[in-house]
Structure 1
Amino acid sequence: MTYSLRVNNDLDVATLVDLAQQAERYGFDQLWVSNDLFLRSAPVLLGVLAAKTERIKLGVGIMNPYSVHVAEIAMMAATMQEATGGRFLLGVAAGSAEFLAWAGIDRPRPLARTAETVTAARVLLGADMGVDEVRGPLPDWFGPLSKLRVPPVRPVPVYVGAMSPMMLEMAGRLADGVLPLLYPPEHFPNARAQVLRGAEGAGRSPDELDIPACFWVSVGDDVAAARLAMAAKIAYYGPSFAPYLLTRAGLAVEDFAPVTAVLEREGLEAAARLVDDRMLALGITGSVAEVVERCRSLRASGATHLSFGPPLGPDLRQAVDMLGTEVLPALAAGVAGGTG
């Protein structure tokens, strides 16, 4: 099994370094840092982490081709691969149209643009393929001079952040890995099937792809506090989820109307208190035992990589400590004992 953590780029440098070193000690295989607009720069944060860690792989999740050109994305990734000694992972996606609009950036042709970006980035970053083996579309400008003058020390794996069926299939055709955001986590078998459908159509083996089950988790000794931390995240983001994903949890966009109204009128804390159990099921919330149970269910459905994402818990350091010292050992014991 592979285990990873995903954290937001709102964390200050000292906190992030502490969490990364904590995760490395506990045996997490990867740490992904988001690169949401108007927060801290993930490439800068990851540059610091490269010098402060030794083993754990470091990923940026995600860079988009609208606010940064793919040539510059590839430059950053190649340099990070050098700085980390080959531990860097590049996540790309179309990004959020709403967030990009904050910077006055349009997002045309998200599927086609992301496919071009994945293909160009993999070629620039040393993927082992000849011209005849390039599976995806390249941008119009890409030509003989489109190459890094300082290539990476080894190929950089390129992951796609995806939720929609078409984006997941494209990732299966073109990428090294996929970051399927799962709301609810039990959507994983469907997301995996969509990725593998794309891989099969491109004549690829499933073994060529890393497909984490990427979910939100909130774990803590104080279960009520853990639920409230998850509820706040769901109150803020839940109404923007794709309707077909909400359906998987027995929900509809309309169910969030009262939550959104209170959010706008009274603020996030009041809105979080309206999040019910069906909504909370969009993530994994509760005690160590509850988290382990749902993680085992994901593993039984075919997940070989579990990726724990924010909020993680009401207390970030304590949550990572609980995941590392209690959840991971329990899951490892289940594998050793042959249980689900």
Structure 2
Amino acid sequence: MTDDGELTFSIRGVADIETHGRAGLTELTQLVESAGFDMIWSGNDFLSGGGLATLTAMLWVSERLKVASGVLDPVTLHPGQIAQFASGLQWLSDDRFILGLGAGSEEFFKWASIPHDKPVPRTRSALLAIRALTEGRDLSTESRAGGPWLPTARLHHPRAVPIYVGAMGPRMLEMAGRYADGVIALALPPRYVFEVVKHVRRGADAAGRDMADIDVAAGVWCGVSERPEDARAGLRRHIALMSGSLSVDALLSSGLDPEEFAHVQSLLDSGREDDAIAAVTPGMMELAFVGGPNEVIDQCAPLVAAGVRHISFGMPGVAQKAEAIRLLGHKVIPELRRMAAE
């Protein structure tokens, strides 16, 4: 979030190489670029999607787009490996890669009984280690970067990379304000972005940083279609599937009931996916922007008017993604840019 009037638009959940293949991923990535988006994020949840392969392919088939990981975690990947991958992707793309780093979902770690530390400390130490490694600095004297690291722990070809933290809870957001170049915050519901900025600013102030130097991306979920009911159906399923991974603090601060989400997660845990989807309430649907293009414009407008300068559209559960990309790129984004320029 900045005060310069410039808007950034990014998009998440568009494609992965396993689902869409090389041709489909190429088509969708290039469609995002031609539609006028500034950045594309590729999901990297544990055991889900193409991960690093998808990131590499997106960088290879695009020319202008920034490509970001959304997000890599330092539990299933060691920070040294993440730094190695990040530097390599920077070399590949002439500095169009952005490293999205997060704690990872403990719901997912349960699947493989993966041990893990507390989320904020593990993410902070990984961020500091990755930054030092990608900048070619000696980590052996850095007490906050995990390890211990030996002086020989160096990348052979370091290349600096912007590091964004994926965050929802207050402590993670404040940590991001202290150390990160940007924040990709799941603003669920979208109005939660104002709470996000408050916590990021608290961390930035404590570190003597200027908020203008931190890109706060409001990561909204969005379903847009000329057939609004199709968009709503897709988002209802996604909300059900993600119900156990959402921050209780964020839900409470936005006036949502965590017990509703816990109930849906319990249905999923017992293998009752259809019942879980049916149990998603109208209040839970407030997590997303959804509808036709004019409805989405109206829903985004208060964020732009309040000074949000980076909106990241998540595309979960959207059956016709090419249509949604075109609608956002050719109808929604131009109107929001016009509003910001007034």
Normalising by structure 1, what TM-score? 0.90
> Given that residues 228 and 272 in structure 1 are in contact (C-alpha distance below 8 angstroms), is that contact kept between their aligned partners in structure 2?
no
Q: Does 1:208 align with 2:213?
A: yes
| Deviation of 1:311 (Å) | 1.5
Cα 1:261–1:81, aligned 2, differ >3 Å: closer, same or farther? closer
Could you say which residue in structure 2 is the equivalent of 1:139?
146
Cα 1:319–1:108, aligned 2, differ >3 Å: closer, same or farther? same
Match of 1:84 among 93, 103, 117: 93
What are the within-5 Å matches in structure 2 for residues 311-326 of structure 1?
311=316, 313-326=318-331
Q: Does 1:288 align with 2:288?
A: no
Structure 1: which 5+ residue stretches go unaligned? none
Alpha-carbon distance in structure 2 between the residues aligned to 1:265 and 1:156 = 42
Q: Secondary structure at the match of 1:38?
A: coil
Q: Can you list the C-alpha shifts for 1:226-268, whole angstroms capped at 9, x where unaligned?
A: 1111111112222442333223443212224664566567844
Could you say which residue in structure 2 is the equivalent of 1:70?
79
Alpha-carbon distance in structure 1 between the residues aligned to 2:248 and 2:71 = 23
Alpha-carbon distance in structure 1 between the residues aligned to 2:46 and 2:91 = 25
Alpha-carbon distance in structure 2 between the residues aligned to 1:76 and 1:130 = 18
Residue identity in the other structure for 1:42: G
Residue identity in the other structure for 1:332: R
| Deviation of 1:303 (Å) | 1.0
Q: Secondary structure at the match of 2:242?
A: helix
Could you say which residue in structure 2 is the equivalent of 1:58?
67
Match of 1:148 among 145, 148, 155: 155
Match of 1:328 among 319, 329, 333: 333
Q: Secondary structure at the match of 1:139?
A: coil
Residue identity in the other structure for 1:62: V
| Deviation of 1:278 (Å) | 1.3
Alpha-carbon distance in structure 2 between the residues aligned to 1:116 and 1:80 = 22
Cα 1:50–1:259, aligned 2, differ >3 Å: closer, same or farther? closer
> Given that residues 43 and 49 in structure 2 are in contact (C-alpha distance below 8 angstroms), is that contact kept between their aligned partners in structure 1?
no
Q: Does 1:11 align with 2:19?
A: yes
| Deviation of 1:314 (Å) | 3.4
Q: Secondary structure at the match of 1:12?
A: helix
Could you say which residue in structure 1 is the equivalent of 2:3?
none
Could you say which residue in structure 2 is the equivalent of 1:297?
302
Alpha-carbon distance in structure 2 between the residues aligned to 1:193 and 1:290 = 27
Q: Secondary structure at the match of 1:281?
A: helix
Structure 2: which 5+ residue stretches go unaligned? 1-6
| Deviation of 1:149 (Å) | 1.1
> Given that residues 162 and 181 in structure 2 are in contact (C-alpha distance below 8 angstroms), is that contact kept between their aligned partners in structure 1?
yes
Alpha-carbon distance in structure 1 between the residues aligned to 2:58 and 2:149 = 32
| Deviation of 1:15 (Å) | 2.6
> Given that residues 172 and 196 in structure 1 are in contact (C-alpha distance below 8 angstroms), is that contact kept between their aligned partners in structure 2?
yes
Q: Can you list the C-alpha shifts for 1:187-221, whole angstroms capped at 9, x where unaligned?
A: 10110110111011011111221110001101111
Q: Which has the higher contact order (CA 8 A, sep 6+)?
A: 2
Q: Secondary structure at the match of 2:283?
A: helix
What are the within-5 Å matches in structure 2 for residues 213-232 of structure 1?
213-232=218-237
Q: Secondary structure at the match of 1:36?
A: coil
CA RMSD in angstroms, aligned pairs only = 2.4
Q: Secondary structure at the match of 1:214?
A: strand
Q: Can you list the C-alpha shifts for 1:64-104, whole angstroms capped at 9, x where unaligned?
A: 11111111111100010011111000011110111122122
| Deviation of 1:32 (Å) | 0.6
Q: Secondary structure at the match of 1:308?
A: strand
Alpha-carbon distance in structure 2 between the residues aligned to 1:257 and 1:312 = 21
Match of 2:196 among 182, 191, 195: 191
Alpha-carbon distance in structure 1 between the residues aligned to 2:79 and 2:263 = 41
Could you say which residue in structure 1 is the equivalent of 2:260?
255
Could you say which residue in structure 1 is the equivalent of 2:113?
104
Residue identity in the other structure for 1:151: P
Cα 1:264–1:62, aligned 2, differ >3 Å: closer, same or farther? closer
Aligned identity (percent) is 35
| Deviation of 1:130 (Å) | 9.8
Alpha-carbon distance in structure 1 between the residues aligned to 2:162 and 2:318 = 29
Alpha-carbon distance in structure 2 between the residues aligned to 1:143 and 1:130 = 8
Could you say which residue in structure 2 is the equivalent of 1:37?
46
Q: Which moved more, 1:291-300 or 1:39-48?
A: 39-48
Cα 1:39–1:263, aligned 2, differ >3 Å: closer, same or farther? closer
Normalising by structure 2, what TM-score? 0.90
Q: Can you list the C-alpha shifts for 1:154-180, whole angstroms capped at 9, x where unaligned?
A: x20011111110000001101111111
Alpha-carbon distance in structure 1 between the residues aligned to 2:111 and 2:81 = 22
Q: Does 1:165 align with 2:176?
A: no
| Deviation of 1:56 (Å) | 0.1
